[in-house]
């Protein structure tokens, strides 16, 4: 039955990875290439992630500099950034695009911390659902002795507590990063 515990651990790890990925998309006030991770550009009739058709670098901590591999893409990239509704205004420089990342207001920072808390709570619910499913399987297995079943249930609970703490730590760190000016 340790396979069920390992499977639960793998699923909970995936939940934490998804949470970290979601946190990367949340603005913190400083420029970060991940802010553009969801932007897709039409490239030869196919929607392609921006990172695959250009290099994205951070300049002076507050600007993103996007240099397309194909200079003819600059206007398409500019349109894609506008269409993505990420709240950033690109400046087309004919061979590249600059984006100035504005400082977040106090109100906006508080909104983002609430979003972070919401994502973290959803991740904890996912971990609890994984725990529930594992416990159901353990209880249905009639080949286990009562002691073995109790031990497996305790192991699943420890695993859930460990991942819940990890999620809380990630949430607190991201909230602190957002509130830092």
In tens, the pLDDT along 36-92 reads 888 889 888 888 888 899 998 888 878 889 999 988 888 888 888 888 877 788 888
For the full predicted model, state whether its pTM sits above 0.75. Answer: no
Strand order in the sheet with 97-100: 54-59, 63-68, 97-100, 90-92
Residue 181 has what pLDDT?
Answer: 66
Other Cβ atoms closer than 10 A to 165: 10
Handedness of CA 23, 24, 27, 28 (dihedral sign): positive
Domains of the chain: 2-25+105-179 (1.10.132.20), 33-100 (3.30.1360.40)
Confidence of residue 123 (pLDDT cuts 50, 70, 90): very high
């Amino acid at each position: 039955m340790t396979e069920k515990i390992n499977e639960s651990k793998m699923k909970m790890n995936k939940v934490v990875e998804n949470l970290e990925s979601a946190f990367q998309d949340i603005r913190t006030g400083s420029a970060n290439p991940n802010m553009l991770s969801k932007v897709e550009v039409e490239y030869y009739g196919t929607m392609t992630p921006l990172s695959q058709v250009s290099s994205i670098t951070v300049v002076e901590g507050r600007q993103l500099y996007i240099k397309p591999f194909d200079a003819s893409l600059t206007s398409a990239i500019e349109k894609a950034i506008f269409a993505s509704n990420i709240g950033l205004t690109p400046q087309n420089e004919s061979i590249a695009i600059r984006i100035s990342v504005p400082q977040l207001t106090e109100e906006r920072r508080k909104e983002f911390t609430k979003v972070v808390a919401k994502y973290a709570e959803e991740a904890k619910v996912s971990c609890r659902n994984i725990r529930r499913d594992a416990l159901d399987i353990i209880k249905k297995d009639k080949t286990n002795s009562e002691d073995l079943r109790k031990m497996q249930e305790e192991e699943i609970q420890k695993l859930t507590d460990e991942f819940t703490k990890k999620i809380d730590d990630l949430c607190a760190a991201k909230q602190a990063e957002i509130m830092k000016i």
